[in-house]
Structure 1
């Protein structure tokens, strides 16, 4: 089976960097592996400019198969056949609404981006799928816990897939950022891998035999667990799931033939890659350092506080928040980096500089290292790439090392097909 990949919501190419173990030498991209990326799409609907796509084509070249269009406008039949579908799609509302006639069931849709993936599954039937999302997907929405993920699982089931999922905190497995994301690996019923896993029990897949158990080992005793089904006997269609599904998904799980087993798990061992290892060792530009005035502002933001506030109805209350490490602890992985990195807010990192010992913000290069991209990956001078955009793109990115590790296992699975 050929290793052909389609990359949706490609961003700056995190999946491709991981799967192909990409390096950047003398500003030239070197792809060490042989995954063939036959099609990629990146579109940012909320901005006039497309910096992530500009970065993607700067690194991987302009091509008729590198598409900068709203995925909703693309005829999925025109997407090339592929072995592996990948994407880190935004978390939205995945509920479905009935059509006016009530006959078609899923004509009315929200959570548009998930339904674009669902259409690719239906039209192209890729043998394997690897997706990434924020971990709150498993418990959204707050009014009907687990419904959105239940809708996704039923969509996979309707299209002939089994899926495994795992919430991975990158910082617990030797990567330099405490970034928690849910990873989803799906495999179609026509594959040999599906038939192989069909012989395994649900718990065995979660704890021993599944892709996540092999690459990111967990203790074999769950902290909690649960089972349910989403078969046609219990839920007749996606609308039924959307209206009635309510279930507590834990951080690990498997769905096979409509049966779900999920467990609250913890890493077997925790390996630390400290923040200090990604900091620049050369002299850093003075613009990143805190002056006396900004120091006091940062100290206040990072400290504990109780702030009197009023609700819309006039009721008074105290808004409270605890203190944060100031500066950040360099002996542990970085905290989760957000798109607002280096702006004046609690979540931005403040570090002690290696050379001067003074406090400063992260540099764009350090932000790339935290996500394990090659140095200066987003430094696109020809496109006038601002530092603000570079931080924003890294706040949206995934930890490349996780994809690199999973990619090696998926490669073996495909080679055995």
Structure 2
């Protein structure tokens, strides 16, 4: 069976590509990775070293001419979480522009300007997207759904914690799949009952089974144009109307809260550790133990702001050192480096306390061994990449399910 052609945006070091191509059902035909804040394009260098320079673009995606992007079946990417509000242009009150530099509108531009836009979308973001911004809970997601609806796509979404399905890291992310109205899955979705689609028929539920939390499916319309949505959606409400699972088609949202169903093998932090001995730089000097213990411990203290204002500060304690018999906590971009930190992982070994190595952090995201190891790329930078990456196993399972959905509809 022919492989589906993929455009990979915001490619980082290639997590989407690894997951999709591992199924042997997808082929990336064009990729883009651009980091605006650094002169050296470290992630792009790693990407090119692993997958080759051919058909890879290291240019600001908002400036890439649309006619240089090849046609593909599916567009994928983990785009940054930003402020998605829109505004009318001065010349045309109906014309819309997203805020400059907001990368969602680069996806939108490709979908709206390509003669043959991809029929399917597979995107990822942080789960707070469902309730951003705090002043208009859910507005950003509503803008995104409506902008895709305007372009002829239906969307299904789910917040997935990789560890709920036996993977080695507690990493919660929202994944969503778009189906163009010209596709059979779109027509299947249009004719399905909400309950059947969410729990039995959807691409993501096939990959990651769920059960209801006894909350009913909430349905509502999003019919405003993007400007009105941007200004008025959910104003004054405390909660987002979007739950962790749902779909949107022809202006109608159907959403409910679900929980994971899984009773298979579970990989825990202890399973992914390198055999000792590990390089000396990862061991914490005993003289630093008190600093780590303070940062990880519970606090109730009076603190003083730069303005001179004093306030009561409190936070709970964290497990220290990290438990080896559970999936790891979420890897963040600041995981690397020697300085003591509340959020970095610390494990107990026979030689004392140490931090995680880049290879171990790669394993927590289910990347191949030393995927980010490259001359000129520091250990701190390697771990930074993984703080931005996704869990490859999640992409692989959803990708296989999407391929099956496309070919069975």
The interval holding the TM-score normalised by the smaller chain is over 0.9
**Range 94-103 or range 334-343, more displaced:** 94-103
TM-score, normalised relative to structure 1: 0.91
2: distance between equivalents of 1:330 and 1:318? 34
- Tell me if 1:15 matches 2:7: no
CA shift for structure 1 position 328:
0.2
C-alpha contact (below 8 Å) 1:105/1:238 kept by paired residues: no
- Tell me if 1:281 matches 2:237: no
Task: Name the structure 1 match of 2:156.
Answer: 164
Give 5+ residue unaligned stretches, structure 2. 235-239
Change (3 A) 1:414 1:227: closer
Candidates 248, 260, 282, aligned match of 2:253: 260
**Range 101-110 or range 164-173, more displaced:** 101-110
- Tell me if 1:52 matches 2:43: yes
Task: Name the structure 2 match of 1:401.
Answer: 393
2: distance between equivalents of 1:211 and 1:34? 15
2: distance between equivalents of 1:186 and 1:80? 19
C-alpha contact (below 8 Å) 2:212/2:257 kept by paired residues: no
1: distance between equivalents of 2:351 and 2:216? 45
- Tell me if 1:218 matches 2:210: yes
2: distance between equivalents of 1:103 and 1:229? 24
C-alpha contact (below 8 Å) 1:96/1:110 kept by paired residues: no
Task: Name the structure 2 match of 1:207.
Answer: 199
Deviations, residues 34-54 of structure 1 (Å, cap 9, x unaligned) = 522110000000111111100
- Tell me if 1:349 matches 2:349: no
- Cα RMSD of the aligned pairs, angstroms, is 1.7
Change (3 A) 1:199 1:111: farther
Deviations, residues 147-199 of structure 1 (Å, cap 9, x unaligned) = 00000000110011111000000111111000000001010010111112222
Deviations, residues 261-310 of structure 1 (Å, cap 9, x unaligned) = 11111112365321001001241112111111111111111000123124
Report the secondary structure of 1:112's partner residue: coil
CA shift for structure 1 position 335:
0.4
Report the secondary structure of 2:168's partner residue: coil
- Tell me if 1:410 matches 2:402: yes
Pairs within 5 Å for 1:305-324: 305-310=299-304, 315-324=309-318
Report the secondary structure of 2:210's partner residue: coil
C-alpha contact (below 8 Å) 1:166/1:253 kept by paired residues: yes
C-alpha contact (below 8 Å) 2:246/2:254 kept by paired residues: yes
2: distance between equivalents of 1:283 and 1:337? 23
Candidates 236, 241, 251, aligned match of 1:248: 241
**Range 12-21 or range 190-199, more displaced:** 190-199
Q: Count how many residue pairs are aligned between Structure 1 and Structure 2.
A: 398
2: distance between equivalents of 1:166 and 1:111? 26
Report the secondary structure of 1:126's partner residue: coil
Task: Name the structure 2 match of 1:121.
Answer: 111
C-alpha contact (below 8 Å) 1:203/1:261 kept by paired residues: no
TM-score, normalised relative to structure 2: 0.93
- Tell me if 1:361 matches 2:328: no
1: distance between equivalents of 2:405 and 2:241? 30
CA shift for structure 1 position 256:
1.4
C-alpha contact (below 8 Å) 1:3/1:414 kept by paired residues: no
Change (3 A) 1:298 1:342: farther
CA shift for structure 1 position 101:
4.3
Task: Name the structure 2 match of 1:37.
Answer: 28
Give 5+ residue unaligned stretches, structure 1. 22-31
